Structure 1
Amino acid sequence: MDQAETLRNIIKLQNQRTVTNARVITVTSGKGGVGKSNTSINLALQFQKMGKKVIILDADFGLANVEVMFGVIPKYNMGDLIFNGMDIKDIITEGPEGVGFISGGSGIAKLVNLDKDQVKNLVGKLSQLEEFADVIIIDTGAGISPAVMEFILASPETVLVTTPEPTSITDSYALLKALSMTDSYDSSVNKVKMLANRVSNEKEGRNLYEKLNSVVTKFLNIKMEYLGHVVYDDNMTKAVMSQKPVTIMYPHSPASRCYENIVSTLETGHAVSQNAGVRSFFRNVFSRKMKNGD
């Protein structure tokens, strides 16, 4: 093989890599305390077991739920990437089973103060995540804050964690209502999938979805899908107290089997979008923040 042919093959491989977009999944909830971060972590671990490389971005700024649940203290966070000139690979902390995570810190919250050149540089750095991961899971804060809405609007896939508690149902509806009232929301681009958490069985999970979806369909311009359910499991509480994910501490528990089924459903229904990927996701998030800061 001559030098020219070698060069052509390298270019070909690079071109192939640019169209292979990492998958971005945003996990959110209408209120805190419904198991959102647990969902992010255990879905990540199940994807990893399937041979995917996964990175979680903890976008619940200031609370550090992911690192607490992993029992790992990160040395760096997003602020170091934005303001201290660090590379993306330097701020990725390795968690259990090889799952990487990025601590949010307060870095992204300060994006309204960045100029366009700084944002362009930041998007370029974050786009490099595709070199390290097949799946990026964004663990947002709870509720309908502007930061949460921006992540949902930028994401092609959003998992909405809801429990049977009346407050969880009403707050999930409030989040969906706020989403439907946003001009940039497009149901054909932003897919919302409800996960029924802490239910007794599959039937209760399906009923919870039908209950919420009937109101959403009647009053909102949103098409919501049912993703699946996670049963109430005492092993989950034990795992949280031990700062270990339930799918690692109790891999054969009822909740762990539910997470396995959910990831299988996500994989089965996944279609690659040419507009998806890390670069597109972060460009959308940060351009919106720039506009909101003007």
Structure 2
Amino acid sequence: MAPAVNEWNPKQVEAVPPVNPPESQSNVASQGDQARVLRGLMEQRRPGIIEKNKTSHCRTLAVCSGKGGVGKSVLSLNLALALAQSGASVCLIDVNLALGNIDLLCRLNGYWNLSHVVSGARSLKEIQLEGPLGVSVITGASGLTDLADCSEAVRKDVLGQMQELEATHDYLILDNGTGIHRSIRQFVTTADDVLVVTTPEPTAIADAYATIKSLSTIQSLEIQALINQCTSDDQSEKVFQQLKKTTELFLHTGLAQAGQIPHDMHVVQSVYDRKPFVLSHPHCPAAESIFRLAHDLLERHQIAGQQNKQESYFPRLWQRLLGEAA
């Protein structure tokens, strides 16, 4: 009789010996070349004026992780900036539960947040921060979950402001909290694209699988895995294949590969300096990987734009928020 197959066990993760990260290829496109390529994709993808509150050309990407310390917020910020270099209008929304730090990473002070919009103390325009390259930064998105306890008039007002925000941007990037807490799960499962970030550490992989498992019940959701802080392409591929095989075996669903971000000391330095590495070191290996990720996202958006448009993100989110509250 064949031995029983057990579900994910982090001890089964094969240790991969560290190697020196590969040096950047001399023929890698310059920052200007990368930006021109991304802008070209944006011009091909950019549609006409949308009918307000009906359908949306804005693409929503939820970035999440199973545990903290895997670089999720740093990657969200730098991906937003890479997209902005293409000419896209990008809004970066911090959905962390009282632990958001997106504003700190780019020398901003996000005292006012979405909870103040829900309470009526501030409007959405008043809490928006202007980040590098014109990226809009909004903190405290988890406060939207309080709308379930608000009056219909308040819900309608806040929804109108959020839809206006969506209508004026090409991308919404949601930097979600670690794990899939019930209070923020709706933000992830409503997004157009979901990116689960992990590192090669066994605990990070196990927690990433737990996150994927909690999201796998949403049939229409395509989950992508991004392997961060890799020491080699081979290590990244091994980690992804382990996640993919386990996901297919036990969850009976697919897992897409978003790519990998190499271990790069420029990333660490950028956090200390509070200056995103795609701006401070645009030619470093990590920045090159972020530009490739942005390029892939633009291509996916271009293909999606040729298909049927869907309802705006925030009305879909409202249905989930109010549905769970009921």
- 1:1-294 equivalences in 2 (<5 Å): 15=51, 19-84=55-120, 86-104=122-140, 107-180=143-216, 182=217, 185-186=218-219, 189-270=220-301, 271-272=304-305, 274-276=308-310, 279=312, 281-294=313-326
Distance 1:41 1:121 in 2: 28
For the 8 Å contact 1:200–1:232, the answer to whether it is kept is yes
> 1:174 aligns to what SS in structure 2?
helix
Distance 1:58 1:13 in 2: 27
Instruction: Give structure 1 regions of 4+ aligned residues with deviation exceeding 6 angstroms.
Output: none
Amino acid at match of 2:226: L
Please report how far the alpha carbon of residue 191 of structure 1 lies from its aligned counterpart in structure 2 after TM superposition.
Answer: 1.6
Q: CA-to-partner distance for each residue in 1:45-101, whole Å, 9 max, x for gaps?
A: 000011101110100131121011111003521022211264332221001121111
Label 1:148 to 1:223 Cα distance change in 2 as closer, same or farther (>3 A): farther
Label 1:95 to 1:213 Cα distance change in 2 as closer, same or farther (>3 A): same
Query: Where does residue 45 of structure 2 map in the other structure?
Result: none
Distance 1:264 1:157 in 2: 14
Q: CA-to-partner distance for each residue in 1:75-133, whole Å, 9 max, x for gaps?
A: 52102221126433222100112111101166224233123443233222101113431
Amino acid at match of 1:290: L
> 2:283 aligns to what SS in structure 1?
coil
Amino acid at match of 1:284: R
Label 1:116 to 1:256 Cα distance change in 2 as closer, same or farther (>3 A): same
Label 1:289 to 1:269 Cα distance change in 2 as closer, same or farther (>3 A): closer
Q: CA-to-partner distance for each residue in 1:22-60, whole Å, 9 max, x for gaps?
A: 111110011111011011101000000111011101001
Unpaired runs of at least 5, structure 1: 1-11
- Aligned-pair identity in percent equals 29
Please report how far the alpha carbon of residue 232 of structure 1 lies from its aligned counterpart in structure 2 after TM superposition.
Answer: 0.4
For the 8 Å contact 1:46–1:259, the answer to whether it is kept is yes
Label 1:221 to 1:255 Cα distance change in 2 as closer, same or farther (>3 A): same
> 2:87 aligns to what SS in structure 1?
coil
For the 8 Å contact 1:70–1:96, the answer to whether it is kept is yes
For the 8 Å contact 1:152–1:158, the answer to whether it is kept is yes
TM-score by length of 2: 0.79
Amino acid at match of 1:215: T
TM-score by length of 1: 0.87
Label 1:72 to 1:165 Cα distance change in 2 as closer, same or farther (>3 A): same
Distance 1:65 1:75 in 2: 11
Distance 1:155 1:31 in 2: 20
Please report how far the alpha carbon of residue 207 of structure 1 lies from its aligned counterpart in structure 2 after TM superposition.
Answer: 1.9
> 2:81 aligns to what SS in structure 1?
helix
Distance 2:141 2:68 in 1: 18
Amino acid at match of 1:283: P
**Please, which moves more after superposition, 111-120 or 140-149?**
111-120
For the 8 Å contact 1:24–1:155, the answer to whether it is kept is yes
Equivalenced residue count is 276
Amino acid at match of 1:293: A
> 1:33 aligns to what SS in structure 2?
coil
Q: CA-to-partner distance for each residue in 1:193-244, whole Å, 9 max, x for gaps?
A: 1111000233322221111000000010332100111000011111101111
Please report how far the alpha carbon of residue 168 of structure 1 lies from its aligned counterpart in structure 2 after TM superposition.
Answer: 0.8
For the 8 Å contact 1:37–1:66, the answer to whether it is kept is yes
Please report how far the alpha carbon of residue 290 of structure 1 lies from its aligned counterpart in structure 2 after TM superposition.
Answer: 2.1
Distance 1:125 1:17 in 2: 11
Distance 1:13 1:217 in 2: 40
